Amino acid sequence: ATPVALLVGTGRGARLGILITGPDALEAAKGIDTIVLDKTGTLTTGRLAVSTVVAVGAEGASDANARDEVLRLAASLEAASQHPIARAIAAAVPIDRRTEVRDFRSRDGLGVEGTVAGTAVAVGRASFIESLDVDLDEETTRALAASAAEGRTAVVVAIGGRARGVVELSDTVRPDTPDAIAALRGLGLEPVMLTGDAEAVARRVAAELGITRVVSDVVPEGKVEEIRRLQGEGRSVAMVGDGVNDAAALAAADLGMAMGGGTDAAMHAADITLVRDGLTGAADAVALSRRTLGIIR
């Protein structure tokens, strides 16, 4: 394509809420045949809310207090993280009830840890909590399974080296996601869901959207590996994501697209930022590049 055509395409994109970093992005978008989609914050709104708190090992009258304490310590820790799960947990406890945190560490795509009111606290996926040498007892495992059966994301709260709670979160598919997936398929792209969330939750959302290729339980480095694996099959791969943990995969993809409401890390790593809320812009971007570069398929 001529430089003028690319410039015109870039200008059209800007009016559609598709911010294109350079002419290479339009060229790359042209040949894409596979689109990898992050789940939380990309297919879903990422505006999660705490739906249930289970206090492990608490019974009767002390149970409500134990649940309050699990949530209070978890919220204090998560206040320092930007992850959608963290925002939801922090928002569930008023600021004046949260307590001070030392040695905060965020492990992208896994969870967070730190010292809260003098006690070691960690919040995250089951495998992350186990990696901290915390055993997941039967009650914890059962609570996680119950959430998964509902198709809901859940995280474990460890306090003082023991699993003390499970926090379940609800998320909703973005209203434009089903139409956007249909548009992507109409352009001949195969959608693949790629998520750090548990398989049962991923499957539930995928089934709702008619996505049959699902890769779940991945760590952030696993997202890059999956992109490379698909490229190794001879595919030309686009990736859409919002999180810090998506940044490396966005950079590795032939075309990286970041959700405008997502993290700065994702936007810096991507070739295109979708300013309008939702996935529709991803289909618009591919359609625009094909029009601009004169390809009709």
> Are the C-beta atoms of 231 and 242 separated by less than 8 Å?
no
CA 1 distance to own-chain centroid? 35
Query: How far lies 239's CA from each of 22, 203, 273, 278, in Å?
Result: 17, 19, 12, 14
Query: Is residue 35 involved in binding ligand ADP (CB under 6 A)?
Result: no
Distance CA 283, CA 255 (A): 12
One of 30, 39, 98, 290 touching ligand ADP (CB under 6 A) = 39
What does 36 interact with, of Mg ion, ligand ADP, none (CB < 5 to 8 A by kind)? none
Query: Is residue 159 involved in binding ligand ADP (CB under 6 A)?
Result: no
> Are the C-beta atoms of 36 and 224 separated by less than 8 Å?
no
One of 25, 28, 70, 86 touching ligand ADP (CB under 6 A) = 86
Show Cβ contacts of residue 265 under 8 Å, excluding neighbours closer than 6 positions: 243, 244, 247
- The count of C-alpha atoms lying within 13 angstroms of the C-alpha of 58, restricted to the half-sphere facing its C-beta, is 18
One of 9, 13, 114, 124 touching ligand ADP (CB under 6 A) = 124
How many chain residues touch ligand ADP (CB under 6 A)? 23
In the complex with ligand ADP, the residue whose CB is nearer, 237 or 288, is 237
Q: Is 38 annotated in the active site?
A: yes
In the complex with ligand ADP, the residue whose CB is nearer, 10 or 195, is 195
> Are the C-beta atoms of 244 and 263 separated by less than 8 Å?
yes
Query: How far lies 259's CA from each of 1, 44, 193, 272, 277, in Å?
Result: 27, 11, 15, 9, 7
Residue numbers 224-283 binding ligand ADP by CB under 6 A: 243, 245
Residue numbers 198-227 binding ligand ADP by CB under 6 A: none
What does 256 interact with, of ligand ADP, Mg ion, none (CB < 5 to 8 A by kind)? none
Q: Which of the residues are catalytic?
A: 38
**Site residues for ligand ADP per CB under 6 A:** 38-41, 78, 81, 83, 85-86, 109-112, 123-125, 153, 155, 195-197, 243, 245
